[in-house]
Structure 1
Amino acid sequence: MVRQTLSADVYAQLRDLLISGRVMPGEKLSLRSIADALGVSVMPVREAVHRLVAEQALEMSANRFIRVPVLTVSQFREITSIRLNLEGQAAARAAELVGAKALREIEGIHDASCREFAKSTPDESRLIALNKELHFAIYNQAQMPILLQIVESLWLRIGPILNYDLRSGTERVVQRVQASHHAAMVEALKNRDPVAACQSLQNDITSAADFILNTGALIVADSVKPVETD
């Protein structure tokens, strides 16, 4: 029971690491380094990693190194398309159901993000964590637990690349592009406007996705059609 509890705890921590985008695509880890960082033995780490490998959230090489997968262009496009529909639905539903207390919490997360963006050198890790926190604080208000589970599984695979712009310190960060989309999302929730909530959420997803597709950070081999031969 103790081992199972430890394994579940390690799994939850690694899962949150991936969903929050605090590791980058292609980043290599080892069972020992993870165990040392979490202060546990290798066994529960191995069990947690195997679960994540089965979920295609991690890859394990023959030399026992664990790698964060690098998505292909087609995989990224497919996941983005699904996200637009599911997360847009969650945002719209949240606008209809969000309560005053939850709305204050969501505004607080957004305000914290804006304060971080306003710094001369924003903390990238802080921005990444707040981005995930804001999105899921909104989705939780939809009161659709099955949809939420599906969204979490998508973020498990896309999280590492999702915050590429925040980590790369691009002009998008300087111009606070993400913050403006988040402000529109919060405003839509305050106005109880499901259409605006859905649209602002989808604008946020599309803006980040377009940037990522243009960076060359994805594997493009599968996006090139093979030359037909006789």
Structure 2
Amino acid sequence: MAEADTIPACTAPESTKTQAGDSRPKIVHEEVYGKLRRAIIAGQLEPGRTLSVRGLAAEFGVSTMPAREAIRQLVALGALELTETRRVSVARMNKAKLEEISEARLALEPALAARVLKHLKGRSAAREKLALRLTRIDEQLDRAIERGDSAAYARYNSEFHFKLYEAAKSPVYLGLVESLWLQIGPFMRVVIGRLGTSSLVDQHKEAISALRADDAPKMAKAIRNDIGEGMSNIARADL
């Protein structure tokens, strides 16, 4: 299989058949779409990387139909784009798009993070359980920074944010935020690889502290600062 179509092993879907051997076409499509989506958000596929329906189908061990549908959805979301020759590739970045995504992230993500506390209001045990899960992810992220591992940093950074955001149970907000990460994730990984991890500073511990304190304004501020610092680093990249 061509290297352009190879997806990291951790993104391969679970078994695509039931015990009875049924093909489950809808579930297969959702698995392929979900794994490919997470790979893009986590920066596992670099901007401009070419993908093909047959290549993805072979990689995932499925028919071309679910692979084609997953690609179609991701093209519609702006994560993938059609080239002039009708080939599909991971979307590239430009300064105008980067500025727009940055503004949108700063508007949406702090508000979504604050909604986590609204959803968990009066549920201290649930807040603490989430705080512990986020702490474990952040510890992995810290170790990635120490190792200078930009790939692991990108993966754990996206995992931290989405583990937090999913706790808000706000599907409209979450869908909008996910669409932004689908566009910025691959480019963010490339920039981190260029800059290295030594200069990276996140506000994750402040966000965890805000979660435990049930302090929505502090949570929003931590996420806003986290995004601002991250996008500032990305903006320095040579597009």
TM range (shorter): 0.7 to 0.9
Relative to structure 1, the CA distance from residue 117 to residue 140 in structure 2 (aligned partners, 3 Å threshold; closer, same or farther) is: same
Q: How far did residue 87 of structure 1 move?
A: 0.6
Residue 212 in 1 paired to residue 234 in 2?
A: yes
Instruction: Determine if contact 2:78/2:179 at 8 Å carries over to the other structure.
Output: no
Q: What amino acid maps onto 1:99 in structure 2?
A: R
Residues 198-220 of structure 1 show CA distances to partners (whole Å, capped at 9, x for unaligned) of 11211111112122222123xxx
| 2:71 aligned residue | 49
Query: Residue 113 of structure 1 is aligned with which of 141, 146, 151?
Result: 141
Q: Which amino acid aligns with 1:177?
A: V
Conservation of the 8 A alpha-carbon contact between 1:31 and 1:65: no
Instruction: In structure 1, give the amino acid aligned to 2:172.
Output: I
1:137 aligns with 2:167: no
Choose which of 175, 179, 182 in structure 1 pairs with 2:199: 175
- Name the aligned partner's letter for residue 201 of structure 2: V
SS at match of 2:236: helix
Alpha carbons 1:30, 1:64 under 8 Å: kept: no
- What is the distance in 2 between the residues matched to 1:51 and 1:145? 17
One-letter amino acid of the structure 2 residue matched with residue 114 of structure 1: D
Summarize the alignment of residues 1-230 of structure 1 with structure 2, pairs less than 5 Å apart: 2-61=24-83, 63-95=85-117, 97=120, 99-119=127-147, 122-168=148-194, 170-171=195-196, 173-178=197-202, 181-217=203-239
Aligned residues of 1:56 and 1:157 also touching (Cα < 8 A): yes
Range with greater deviation from structure 2 (61-70 or 7-16):
61-70
Q: Distance in 2 between matches of 1:167 and 1:22?
A: 12
Q: Residue by residue, what CA displacement relative to the aligned partner does 1:155-202 show, whole Å, maximum 9, x if unpaired?
A: 12222223333332x25x113423xx2222222223322222211211
- For 1:25 and 1:139, the matched residues in 2 are separated by 25
Q: Name structure 1 gaps, 5 residues minimum.
A: 218-230
Change beyond 3 A, Cα 1:11–1:77 = same
Instruction: Give the deviation of 1:63 after TM superposition.
Output: 4.3
Q: Please report the TM-score for the alignment, with normalisation by the length of structure 1.
A: 0.81
More relative contact order, 1 or 2 (CA 8 Å, 6+ apart): 1
**Residue identity in the other structure for 2:131:** L
Rounded to whole Å, the distance in 2 between the matches of 1:62 and 1:5 is 32
Residue 110 of structure 1 and its aligned partner are, at CA, apart by 0.9
> Which amino acid letter does the alignment assign opposite residue 134 of structure 2?
I
Q: Show structure 2 runs of 5+ residues with no match.
A: 1-22, 121-125
